[in-house]
Every structure is written in structure tokens, then in C-alpha cells.
Chains A and B, each alone.
Chain A
């Protein structure tokens, strides 16, 4: 096997698979990438058995065949090579030579036949989504998913087709059992039932496909969800297990609605966090007409107290929340103002970007 390729193109493609080719894996071959070439095109494949990625790119002077080399080493070498053109050629005993200008590297490789087969990517039915929209949806949900092994069914993001006001929505939900983040976009999907994709799977997907301007084709095939563009295919194995009934925890909007300037709120919370970080992140809010008092502290760590202007005209209410959980969502909202709907001291709060219906966040109070 042999091919010649532009350095930049190869470097970009290899960069995208680094997160998948696991150096720490107990299965050594998974730290490698499989490169196959035919008809002036090469495919670069990496997998950790949960996520598989295949990049297809153009090459010249092609001699058909396959090589299998360390993904990290290959990438490090390409990055350091001089010139624009790189020649890669298979040698005896699975060794690979990499040449650019007057530099030549020789790298030991593995038998390409040992590399796990790439799963079928021919989903039966599919739908399209704008890559930027998908990236936004991932970004606004993954942070709320649990990262604790013991809550494996909450480690994933729940994805389903929803219908609201006779319109079809593509919806993503994430929760760690304390707060919940939900986003939906008016897209008709082909999902017949909800699926769960791991937090890591979606984070990698966003890294790989997040910067394209194109549409992504999404389909399901067996136990896999497939995301495809012309050049890139990402296959993610679905998580098994049941997702909790999240509808029951989303409170309806009500009269105790507070409108807050997002940046001002972020500033106040970050100041409060300096003290609250030693107190399990707990911060108290006292809201009455036109003002919200934010305070936290204790006899051992000191205290902080601040008042910010808000729009509110209900009965005074006192409630405590985890400051980090609030900052997580405020940093993911793009509007200038947010609305917070509260009910009672110990019932969940509902946070939304002002005048937008596609994103919501539910947060359970703390008992202080």
C-alpha cells in the first residue's frame, strides 16, 4: 500500500480521531488507526468499541492496501514533518514508512486484519440536521448528565422525537438526579423510540463534527446511532437501560416568575462561589419586589452578601440552590435575560432564556 497526501489534510483528520484511539485501553490494537486506500481515497478509522469514527479524504499515487499504526505516534510525526506532501508506504512485517522531503520515518505497525471491523453504517431510515444545531444541542445538555459510574443510566443523554402543539421536535434531555437540562429543535426525526447516548459519545461527536458547516445525516442501525457527512462517519453504540420519566419533574410555568439579567447574575454567583465552594456550593436567595438578595457563608468560612435588581411582583420567597448548577446553565444561555419560575422553598425551579421556548433547565433546591 502506498499513497501521497497533503500534510494539512492528513494532520486535521488524524487530529480528530485522537480522542477515540485510546492509549490507555486494555486492548492494545485500539490505540491504533486503520488506514485503507483505494481509488485515490483513503479512509482513516479509529474505535474504542463504543465510538467508531471514519474519515475519508483524497490522496494521490495510490496503491491499494491497508496499514495499522499507533494513532498518537503517527499524528505526532505528521505534525512535525516539513513540507506539504507526505508519502506513506507499507513495508514488510506491517512496518510503515513516512517520507517528507529528506525526512523518513519508519514505524512498526500491526496486522490490519486484527483491527475491529467498522460497523455497518447503512441505517434504514434517516433524517438531516444542521451540524451547528446539533453541536448547540449537545453543548446545552451534556454538562447536566451524571458522570458517576453508579448512575449509569444517567451517564447518557436521552434523545427522542417529541410532539408539541402539533409540531415535531428533536429533543435531548440530560440529568444527574439534581438538575435537568432539555433542548428541542423543530426537526422531524425518524426515531420511533427514545435512545440514550453516552455523555462521552456526544462530546466526541461534537469535537469531530462540530466545525463543519454541512448537514449531518442521522440514522439508527441495530444498537448504533450513525452520524454522517460526506467525509466523516461517527458510529456510537447506544447505552442500554431505562431512562427515568423526566416529564414528571418539569414544573409548569407559574406566577412566581423572576426576570434576571444573565451577566449580572453570573457575576454575583461567581463572587458567592468563592465562599460557597467550601459549603457544598449552597447559596441562599431571598427574592422580593424588584430585588434579589444573594448570600452564603458560615462562622468558619466567612460570608458574602449581595443584592441585584430583578423583575418580580409575587410574594417574597426564600430558596437555596447549588451555585455551580446555576452557573452551568447560565453559561449555556445566549439571551441577555433569563426567567426563573419558583414555587415553594423546596420545590424545583424552572430556568429559561427569556422569550425562547426551545431550552429549559430544572434545578432542585438545597435544604440549608
Chain B
């Protein structure tokens, strides 16, 4: 690929039928068969469908009973998020072997800015093939990779040949590629926006590109300019790595969901999971932080962060969770949420204050013992009750506190 001076090479790595594939890898009886992963409790919808289930017309978001009707032999597995997080972190580890600029977009997707690594690995396509090989080898899963000049097109490219695909979009391919692309298939244009556009008689990106930006802005506000750029395959959003460098200023994780997250109890579950992941990363690098940042994104892409600075430094999941929940308590939600992010800034490395009270010290020792087990046997082998298996339909009561945080308790 020939590149101009300012041209970037962005890669989007998308795991294939991620939840279902993880289940199939763990349980050989599921391999080669139609499998869906679902939540439990009142919301029984398909969270992920294996490629064997897809010819039956089964899609994620579909009610389970409907999926079962379409495919009588369907195998249903309950979601076990910690298992997926473990696989996700191991994939991340592979990706970080190729560039430090890795943005974890959601549990099964990541963006890489490989512009600086091209010479080292002899080109983007070779990097993509190496990534696919290593992910297969080390995590036992397949992924699809899209290579393009920006995130928008890289995301489009990875979806073009699923599963196990590898697709390059060159700048000169863009106009013909977008000409007949249905607008809903462009990243960021959801079904709702797609419907509005269709009402205006716009079905493809090519048609959208012919609408003057002024008209789009009048109709859609800020979104109008975004639509204008999307229709042309333009995007200059940077790949934002989550800060794992040798002396990080902040550390965080976020998760984007395909479905709406409504209500603080459900958000709490993600906050808990993310807090635990961030805590693990902090401790692995010998860090602790005293400012907790909670980031939320509404379904209309409006994103905002709120922070809280404490006097003491935190490094455990429950401590981070507790602070993030105090931030969440102060937010009045306007809409359902699609992204939840938790990060810590104001970091120090290699120095921790030991607690005065024995109960609290034991609580921290417990966390360190959990770390040792998880380092050896995989993430979330040992974890806190509320994170287990998404059993309570991914809900953590906001009042949940770890028993060890209270120094009056003795840890058994």
C-alpha cells in the first residue's frame, strides 16, 4: 500500500461470534453445532449466535423463544462474562505485541493504529495475518481484521468477510465501495437513524453523499455533519490506547454494548466488572490512583465523564467500584447507555500505604492472593460474587460492598 505522509493505517480486529466461540472452544460438544449464548432471568434474548446458528436466521438481540422456533436443535448456553473477559484480555495481550496503540472498543473488538509498526513487521497485511495466527494459536479463536486509512472504514472492512476474514480498503476504493452500501451498514448509523434517512429517500451511502451538508445539519443537528463525513468514508478519530505504557498517567477500560443498558443497577454491573479489570491492571504494574473517572455514552453518542478525587490511593476493584458508584449516584441519566468506562488517574507507582487496621490489611492481602490465583489460572478464576456468570441478569445492587472492605469483619 502506498501512503501519503499523513496517512494512517488503522486496523479493526473483530472476534467472530465471540461469546459463542469461547463456549465452543471450552466445550467440544458445542463445536460445529448451532449455539446461542443468552442472558438469564427476565431478559432472555440471544446475546451471541454461533456461525452454525446463523443460517437459521438467528441474530443477536432476538428473543430466545423465537430463536428456538427457527432452529429446534439449538443449544442454549448461559452467558459467563468473566470467561469472555479472560479471553478478551488474552487477545488484547496478543494485539499489544504489534503496537502500543490499541484501543479496546468493546469486549470483542479493538482498533489498532499500526502506522508506526509497518516497517518492523513488513506491512499491514502481514501484521493482520500474524495477529490472526497468534489469536488462533494462543486463545483458540478466529477473528476478522479490517485494514483501512481510518477507524470508520477499518470497521467496515472487518465486517466484509466474516468469519475469519481479512480485508483491506484502500483510499481509492472508497467511493465505489460506499456507492451502494446501505446506510445502516455504516458504523454509527443505527436502525433509528437509518429509518429517518429512508424516509428522506436515502438508502445508500452514495445517495447520502449527494445531500449538501447544510441540509443534513438542518435536519440532524451535529449528527448531520457526522453523516456527511460518514457518507464519504471520512473519519479522523484517533486510536486511543488505554494507557499501559511504562509510566502511565491513567489506566482504564470501557465497554461498548450493542444493546441499551438501562438503569443504574445494570450499569453498576458493568462498573463493577470494569473496576475489577482496572484494579487488576493497576496492581500488575504496581500502580495505585486517587482520581476515579466514570465515562458514559448515551445511545445518541453523547459522551461525558465525571471524576472524583480521594485523599487515599486505590488499587482494588471493590474500592474503585465504590467510588465510581458514588459518582454514578450523582448523575441523573437522560437516556439508555451504550458505553461504560472506568479509569484511574493521578497515579503513583511502587508505593502503597499499609492500612492500620488488621481487617483492612487482610482485605488487601485477600485481593493479592486472588491476583496470584488469577495470574496462574486465568482472569476471574477467583472473583467477587456479583460478577459470577451474569446470574442475576447482570445486576449488582448499588449498595453491594465487599465484606473485606469493612475492617470489622474478619476474612475467613
- Same complex: yes
Q: Considering only CB atoms, which chain B residue lies closest to A248 in the complex? A: B358
Stretch at the interface among B55-63, B85-93, B200-208, B307-315: B307-315
Are B356 and A179 in contact (CB-based, < 8 A)? yes
Are B322 and A150 in contact (CB-based, < 8 A)? yes
**Closest chain B CB from A255 CB (angstroms):** 22
Q: Considering only CB atoms, which chain B residue lies closest to A283 in the complex? A: B351
Are B351 and A368 in contact (CB-based, < 8 A)? yes
Most chain-B CB neighbours within 10 Å: which of A150, A242, A280? Answer: A280
CB contact list, A118-150 vs B, under 8 A: 147-150
Stretch at the interface among A104-112, A258-266, A333-341, A358-366: A358-366
Q: Considering only CB atoms, which chain B residue lies closest to A299 in the complex? A: B247
Residue A193 interfacial (CB < 8 Å): no
CB contact list, A292-331 vs B, under 8 A: 300, 320, 322
Residue A101 interfacial (CB < 8 Å): no
In-complex Cβ contact of B407 among A176, A177, A178 (8 A): A177
Are A242 and B408 in contact (CB-based, < 8 A)? yes
In-complex Cβ contact of B326 among A149, A322, A362, A364 (8 A): A149
Residue B355 interfacial (CB < 8 Å): yes
**Closest chain A CB from B390 CB (angstroms):** 27
**Closest chain A CB from B367 CB (angstroms):** 14
Q: With contacts A179-B356, A248-B358 known, is A147 near B311, CB below 8 A? A: yes
Are B358 and A282 in contact (CB-based, < 8 A)? no
Q: With contacts A148-B312, A244-B407, A300-B247 known, is A180 near B354, CB below 8 A? A: no
Residue B353 interfacial (CB < 8 Å): yes
CB contact list, A134-188 vs B, under 8 A: 147-150, 175-180
Q: With contacts A244-B407, A280-B313 known, is A366 near B352, CB below 8 A? A: yes
Are B326 and A279 in contact (CB-based, < 8 A)? no
Bound CA–CA A154/B232 (angstroms): 59
Which residues of chain A come closer than 8 Å to B288, judged between CB atoms?
280
Are B353 and A366 in contact (CB-based, < 8 A)? yes
Residue B350 interfacial (CB < 8 Å): yes
Which residues of chain B come closer than 8 Å to A279, judged between CB atoms?
348, 351
Which residues of chain B come closer than 8 Å to A346, judged between CB atoms?
354
In-complex Cβ contact of A320 among B351, B355, B357 (8 A): B351
Which residues of chain A come closer than 8 Å to B322, judged between CB atoms?
150
CB contact list, B329-366 vs A, under 8 A: 348, 350-358, 360
Q: With contacts A148-B310, A244-B407, A279-B351 known, is A178 near B356, CB below 8 A? A: yes
In-complex Cβ contact of A150 among B323, B350, B356, B408 (8 A): B323
Are A177 and B348 in contact (CB-based, < 8 A)? no
Which residues of chain B come closer than 8 Å to A147, judged between CB atoms?
311
Are B351 and A178 in contact (CB-based, < 8 A)? no
Are B348 and A280 in contact (CB-based, < 8 A)? yes
Are A366 and B351 in contact (CB-based, < 8 A)? yes
Residue A367 interfacial (CB < 8 Å): yes
**Closest chain B CB from A361 CB (angstroms):** 11
CB 8 Å contact bits of B375-412 with A (1 = contact, 0 = none):
00000000000000000000000000000000110000
**Chain B: interface size category:** 20 to 34
Most chain-B CB neighbours within 10 Å: which of A176, A177, A300, A348? Answer: A177
**Closest chain A CB from B321 CB (angstroms):** 11
Which residues of chain B come closer than 8 Å to A366, judged between CB atoms?
351-354
**Closest chain B CB from A175 CB (angstroms):** 6
Bound CA–CA A363/B187 (angstroms): 55
Bound CA–CA A242/B359 (angstroms): 15
**Closest chain A CB from B180 CB (angstroms):** 54
Residue A249 interfacial (CB < 8 Å): yes
Q: With contacts A150-B323, A280-B348 known, is A364 near B312, CB below 8 A? A: no
Q: With contacts A150-B322, A280-B313 known, is A177 near B354, CB below 8 A? A: no
Q: With contacts A150-B323, A364-B355, A366-B354 known, is A177 near B247, CB below 8 A? A: no
Q: Considering only CB atoms, which chain A residue lies closest to B322 in the complex? A: A150
Bound CA–CA A117/B15 (angstroms): 66
Bound CA–CA A362/B326 (angstroms): 30
**Closest chain B CB from A143 CB (angstroms):** 12
Residue tally, chain A, CB below 8 Å to B: 28
Q: Considering only CB atoms, which chain A residue lies closest to B361 in the complex? A: A364
**Closest chain A CB from B355 CB (angstroms):** 6
**Closest chain B CB from A278 CB (angstroms):** 8
Bound CA–CA A368/B288 (angstroms): 12
Which residues of chain A come closer than 8 Å to B356, judged between CB atoms?
175, 177-180, 249, 348, 362, 364
Bound CA–CA A149/B313 (angstroms): 15
CB contact list, B163-207 vs A, under 8 A: none
Which residues of chain A come closer than 8 Å to B358, judged between CB atoms?
248-249
Which residues of chain A come closer than 8 Å to B350, judged between CB atoms?
368
Bound CA–CA A362/B357 (angstroms): 11
Q: Considering only CB atoms, which chain A residue lies closest to B350 in the complex? A: A368
Q: Considering only CB atoms, which chain B residue lies closest to A249 in the complex? A: B356
Are A244 and B323 in contact (CB-based, < 8 A)? no
CB contact list, A263-297 vs B, under 8 A: 279-280, 282
Bound CA–CA A148/B322 (angstroms): 12
**Closest chain B CB from A264 CB (angstroms):** 25
Bound CA–CA A142/B349 (angstroms): 30
Which residues of chain A come closer than 8 Å to B313, judged between CB atoms?
280
Most chain-A CB neighbours within 10 Å: which of B312, B352, B360? Answer: B312
Bound CA–CA A248/B408 (angstroms): 12
**Closest chain A CB from B345 CB (angstroms):** 14
Most chain-A CB neighbours within 10 Å: which of B247, B288, B323, B354? Answer: B354
In-complex Cβ contact of A322 among B310, B353, B357, B408 (8 A): B353
Are A364 and B353 in contact (CB-based, < 8 A)? yes
**Closest chain A CB from B201 CB (angstroms):** 53
Are B408 and A244 in contact (CB-based, < 8 A)? yes
Are B312 and A178 in contact (CB-based, < 8 A)? yes
Bound CA–CA A245/B247 (angstroms): 39
Q: With contacts A178-B312, A244-B408 known, is A365 near B354, CB below 8 A? A: yes
In-complex Cβ contact of A367 among B311, B312, B351, B408 (8 A): B351
Pairs of residues from A and B, 8 with the lowest C-beta to C-beta distance, nearest first: A280-B348, A282-B351, A368-B351, A364-B356, A364-B354, A280-B351, A367-B352, A249-B356
A-B contact pairs, 22 of them (CB 8 A): A148-B311, A149-B326, A150-B322, A176-B311, A177-B356, A177-B360, A178-B355, A244-B408, A248-B358, A249-B356, A279-B348, A280-B351, A280-B353, A282-B348, A282-B351, A320-B351, A322-B353, A362-B356, A364-B354, A364-B355, A366-B354, A367-B351
Binding site for B on A (CB under 8 A): 147-150, 175-180, 242, 244, 248-249, 279-280, 282, 300, 320, 322, 346, 348, 362, 364-368
Binding site for A on B (CB under 8 A): 247, 288, 310-313, 322-323, 326, 348, 350-358, 360, 407-408
